[in-house]
Structures are given as structure tokens and as C-alpha cells.
Amino acid sequence: MPTSPGLRIGRILGIPIYVHASWMIIFVLITMSLAMQFTQEHPQWTTVQHWAVGVATSLLFFASVLFHELSHSMVARAYKIRVISITLFVFGGVARIGREPAKAIQEFNIAIAGPLASLFLAFAFYSLTQFFPYAQMTGALAVWLWQTNAALALFNLLPGFPLDGGRIFRAVVWGVTKDFARATKVAGTSGKIVAYGMIVFGAWYAMRGQWTSGLWLAFIGWFLLNAAQESVAQVAIREALSGLHAADVMSHEVPTVPRNMSLEEYGQEVARTGRRCHLVTTEDRLVGMINVHALNSVARDEWGNMSVQGVMIPREKVLWARPEEPLLGLLERLVSADVNQMPVVTDTEDDGAHIIGMITRDSILRVMQARSEVGSLTPTR
Ligand SMILES: [Zn+2]
């Protein structure tokens, strides 16, 4: 499951943008190496100019990667796929989307938008170099940025999952074979081949004396290898969950608290039972949901004066599941909404929802693990 994506730096077009810790190290390294490069190649500039152009180039590189990810996001949105967040990593970014595309052509278009955006930027910066000579600050900046954006586009087009090229490759195999699971396996395998190739080539390069480039290449290869394995595992999840519904894995035990309970008492209840989320009820009717997160939004010395009802998530805003909902879609909804549990409810005639169970990410993970232990028992569909 996704962990904390990093430091949040803002929101663009409604999408939260995060920066991974590793990106800041890279940002400093790129700025330093650019300042050194400019010091060597442009001795006529002042020290302040070397650093100013270094920082400006780094920032524009950062903006370029963001532009690449936003392009993926805009195409995803055009297909009504929610974009949860964009995170900038060591050598690029990741746009997290709420669900997998439903059709091969959608995946193809979402994937190719990124490299096309980078190529567009490469072309734009290349055009700048036609007006500003390399000896000038704008020219030096534009040369580095057009080359780097072109390299970014080409690197991302390598046909290995999870790079954009791997997604394009998967979309093509998926479109031809109509078999999503098989397409992912093929793209995952080609991703591993690309990754091993980069590791071997990087090691060979390093041994020939090109230490920095060689090790860097090998490191990226190693990162890709892990990512390829992870994305194949995601397909295994799909397969493990197929045929199962919310009612199959929900727990019938529903921890509830009355709505007039004080937050002080609720804190004790959490500490005593270890449960972090409760439904708020009156006479078996769901009126809301409360969890430790909501509890902690209130200052501790106010707990005695406030009731659960004051801070609970009201019923209209609680996400809930139906017993017949397929588990895979439900897991995607849990991840997409960034919540750990949902109540399972059925409607009764006398209005009002009747709670029949609770479904958590943990219970879904447990059934996946159990299924992997008993082997591939394909459920009857
Ligand atoms: Zn991309």
C-alpha cells in the first residue's frame, strides 16, 4: 500500500504535488554540478551568475518534470480517472491515479502524453538556443534543458514497465491479445530485461573508469527492477481478488460508540481496545464515523467538553460499501480515498441504513495472503 509520498509543496489544477526526500538531494546535486560546469565553460561570468543560472536551470528542470507528469494527469482526467497526487522522485515523477484505465487505448494515450510533453519542451528550449548564443546565460540554460528534456523523453520511452514506454508496450500487447494480465506479465518481463541491461551496462561503464555515470545507470536499473516486480505483483492482486465481494471478507464485528459519548471516554475506548475507527450510532442506525485522526483534530484539554457527535464524519460523508460490491473495485476505492475502512450497509424498508459489517484494508490483505498460500484456487464465477 502507498506510504507517505513526501513533502507537499502545493496544488496545481486541484492535484496535490509532493516532493520525495530523494528529490531534494538530486536538486542540490544538479545545481552544484551546473554551477561548476558554468564556472568552467563561462569564465567571463561572475560567481553569482554561475550560481544564479545553476539554480534557475535546476528549477526549470523541476518544472519540466512536473509538466511531464501533469500531461499524463490531464489525459487521465479526460477519461474520468481521478488523479490522486503527483510525486517527484529521483529521476522523474509519478502521477498516482485512482484506478487502472479501462481500455488499452486509454492506457496508451495516458502513457504517451508524458514523453510527448518532454519532447515538446526539448523543442521549445532548442528554439531558444537559436536566438541566444551559448555564451549568454539564457543560451547556456536552454542548451542544458533541451538536451535533458530530450534525454528524459527517450529514457521514458524504453519499453520496460513501469516506464512510460513499458506502459505503451503493455497497452499494445493488451490491445492485441485482449488479455490485461498477460500484457502486464510481458511488459514486466521486458522491464526486468531493460533493468538488468542497465545494471550490467552501468557496471561495465564504471569498470572502464566512468564511475559516476556507470554507478548512476546501475542505480536507476536497480530501482526499475524493483518497480517492475512491484507492478507484476499488482496484477497478482487483481487475480487474487477476482470473484470476491465485500460480504466475503467483511468482519461482522462492528465497533460502535454512541453519539453522546465524550471525546475523553472515546480516547479511553481507543486505548483500551486498540481499535482506531468506530461507527457512531443511535439505536443501531448509522449517524457517522469517528476515528483517531478526527479525535486528534481536537486539543486534548477540550476532550472533556466535546462529544463524539461534534467531530465525527457525518453519515452523508462516510464512504460505505454494499455487500455485493466486488473486492478489487472496493480496494481501489479505499486506496483512492485514502481511508482504511468502510462500513458495509444494506438499506431496509423503514429508511436508514443497516450496518452489517466492516471492511478494512487489512482484511483484504489477509484474504490475498491466504489465497497465495493455498495456491491458485480459481474461484467459480
Ligand atoms: Zn511519464
Give me the pLDDT at residue 94, please. 77
What is the sign of the dihedral through the CA atoms of 32, 33, 34 and 36?
positive
Question: How far, in Å, from the CA of 25 to the mean position of ligand 1?
Answer: 21
Q: How far is the CA of 196 from the centre of ligand 1 (A)?
A: 21
Shortest CA distance to 250 belongs to which of 337, 328, 364?
364
Rounded distance from Cα 186 to ligand 1 centre (Å): 19
Q: What is the distance between the alpha carbons of residues 280 and 255, in angstroms, rounded to a whole number?
A: 9
pLDDT of residue 125: 94
Ligand 1 mean position, distance from CA 69 (Å): 6
pTM score of the predicted model: 0.66
* DSSP helix/strand/coil, 156: helix
C-alpha 297: how far from chain center? 26
Task: Tell me the CA–centroid distance for residue 307 and ligand 1, in Å.
Answer: 47
Cis peptide before 162 (omega within 30 of 0): yes
What spacing in Å lies between the alpha carbon of 89 and ligand 1's midpoint? 12
Q: How far is the CA of 237 from the centre of ligand 1 (A)?
A: 24
> pLDDT tens per residue, the chain (381 residues)?
344 567 888 888 888 888 887 778 888 888 888 888 888 888 888 888 888 888 889 899 989 999 999 999 999 999 988 888 888 876 677 777 777 788 899 999 999 999 999 999 999 999 988 887 777 777 888 899 999 999 989 989 988 877 899 889 999 999 999 888 788 888 888 888 989 998 999 999 888 888 888 888 888 888 888 878 877 777 777 777 877 888 888 888 888 898 889 999 999 999 998 888 888 888 777 788 898 888 888 888 888 888 998 899 888 888 888 888 888 888 888 887 878 888 888 876 566 667 788 888 888 888 877 776 765 444 443
State the distance from the centre of ligand 1 to the C-alpha of 154, rounded, in angstroms: 11
Whole-number Å distance, alpha carbon 122 to ligand 1 midpoint, is 15
pLDDT for the residue 146: 92
CA of 220 to the centre of ligand 1 (A): 15
Contact 270, 292 (CB under 8 A): yes
164 CA distance to ligand 1 middle (Å): 5
Cα-based angle 222, 225, 226 (whole degrees, multiple of 5):
95
CA of 135 to the centre of ligand 1 (A): 32
Task: Output the CA 40–ligand 1 centroid distance in Å.
Answer: 33
Interval between CA 115 and ligand 1 midpoint (Å): 6
Q: How far is the CA of 28 from the centre of ligand 1 (A)?
A: 23
Q: At 166, which amino acid appears?
A: G
Domains of the chain: 7-157 (no CATH), 246-373 (3.10.580.10)
Distance in Å, CA 112 to ligand 1 centroid: 8
Within 13 Å, how many C-alpha atoms sit on residue 193's CB side? Answer: 10
* 3 state DSSP class of 85: strand
**Residues facing residue 341 across a β-bridge:** 360
Distance 87 CA to ligand 1 centre (A): 12
pLDDT at 379: 44
Q: What distance in angstroms lies between residue 72's CA and the mean position of ligand 1's atoms? A: 7
Answer positive or negative: Cα dihedral of 365, 370, 375, 379. negative
Q: Ligand 1 centroid vs 65 CA: distance in angstroms?
A: 9
- How confident is the model at residue 344, as a pLDDT? 87
CA of 308 to the centre of ligand 1 (A): 44
Decide: residue 374, CB within 10 A, 0-12 exposed, 13-18 middle, 19+ buried. exposed
